[in-house]
Structure 1
């Protein structure tokens, strides 16, 4: 399986050269919602970038990085910030979710996109695995980070997926929410260790599952223990509403 390091660019490069590697964009022709976290239920447009620096076995977007099973030539296109701003501004929806893959691999190329989105009156949420610190140009008013560190039960070696200095940088930014996928009370104990060690707050817990039945069952396993810790709980609205259909 192929993963990727952050993509560096010449800051003097032209807009045409600042093309982002995009897996898919959706929410304009067929409206949808942010399905997870603090903005769950808000109308949203999604820009899903391709490529990731992790290879989690329970990942539900492997078409952004697993080239043993997917063809990157079929699963991605290259688009400029101007292309994406034009697409976004064709809709009145305010919330733009930039996800992946791992979007911060391409963050230098994201700066002009985010600047264009903010200038158009949009607000931006990044969905990130928390292994790459954001550049200062992205830590600005109108931008939030939903940081989702991957614990061992998600099928990733924490030596790669938990980067303390990066988590702490997000924590002090004042612009981050920490959203963990969990399937058991033991997972909550590990989340508590990370939250205490790196001063991660606020903590949101999301039940693992790719079907409505799985999410309901896991919610019932976790609910009392999450409530006892005074954490936030989020469902996976897109799975409940759209059966995890791609592009919804």
Structure 2
């Protein structure tokens, strides 16, 4: 049990379901242990999927989530929509017990119809500083499908005010919103520095600003 750290629901009590595997390889990713089996990230550490990934039937996951007695469940990764067919029965069961459900996604995979309307998609398209080529990290059809889903929010990880120009270009080109800007940072000092660098310009552009509460409160600890 924890709180949602980012975006429109920041600070709200929730439980996380963290899935493994990702179709991108962001160099600054704060959960590289979910996908980086070769050490391409900034840390250079190659994680072992046999140690990091633990397959579970969805009914067991559902039971564990019920035991937390929280109103919201956040599905994150890795890239959850890579496994979305497996998520459908879990989402249906959670919706049946009155849970609010959010799925964190990088925006490169269109959602299945069964998920649209049942969850909020928190979409985080990646900028050039992620290290991935544009054709991999920006998929117009997927962004359009996610933008059409009810309640979708778009979050962008930024380091400096110059990154906001790239965000503006993406938002205009793909017609997406609402926009939330969050500072990149895996430790509180880095997070605070980038937040201060971004805040005034984000407000001036009429966008929403979010910190990353889990980093501010617990640093780079796993399991939060």
Q: In the aligned structure 1, how far is the partner of 2:15 from the partner of 2:160? A: 31
1:139 and 1:175 in contact (8 A); partners too = no
For residue 180 of structure 2, what is the aligned residue in structure 1? 204
Report the secondary structure of 2:27's partner residue: coil
- Structure-to-structure mapping, 1:19-38, within 5 angstroms: 27=1, 32-38=2-8
Question: Residue 88 of structure 1 is aligned with which of 34, 43, 65?
Answer: 65
Is the contact between residue 154 and residue 181 of structure 1 (CA under 8 Å) also seen in structure 2? no
| Preserved contact between residue 117 and residue 149 of structure 2 (Cα < 8 Å) | no
Asked if 1 retains the 8 angstrom alpha-carbon contact of 2:125 and 2:137, the reply is: yes
5+ residue gaps, structure 2: 39-45
Count of matched residue pairs = 217
Q: Does 1:156 align with 2:132?
A: yes
Matches within 5 A, 1:127-142: 127-141=104-118
TM-score by length of 1: 0.85
Counterpart CA distance in 2 for 1:55 and 1:91 is 31
Which position in structure 2 is the counterpart of 1:10? none
Deviations 1:154-178 (Å, cap 9, x if unpaired)?
2222210011111111112233100
1:243 Cα shift? 1.2
TM superposition shift of 1:52: 0.6
1:56 paired residue among 4, 22, 26: 26
- Counterparts of 2:158 and 2:197, CA distance in 1: 10
List, as ranges, runs of 4+ consecutive aligned residues in structure 1 with deviation greater than 3 Å.
none
Contact 2:126 2:156 in 1 (8 A): yes
- 1:171 equivalent in structure 2: 147
Q: What 5-or-longer segments of structure 1 have no aligned partner?
A: 1-26
Alignment match, 1:8: none
SS at match of 2:121: strand
* Cα deviation 1:204-234 (Å, max 9, x = unaligned): 0001111211111111111111001110000
CA distance in structure 1 between the aligned counterparts of 2:208 and 2:131, rounded to whole angstroms: 23
Structure 1 CA distance for aligned equivalents of residues 196 and 151 of structure 2: 30
Matching residue of 1:187: 163
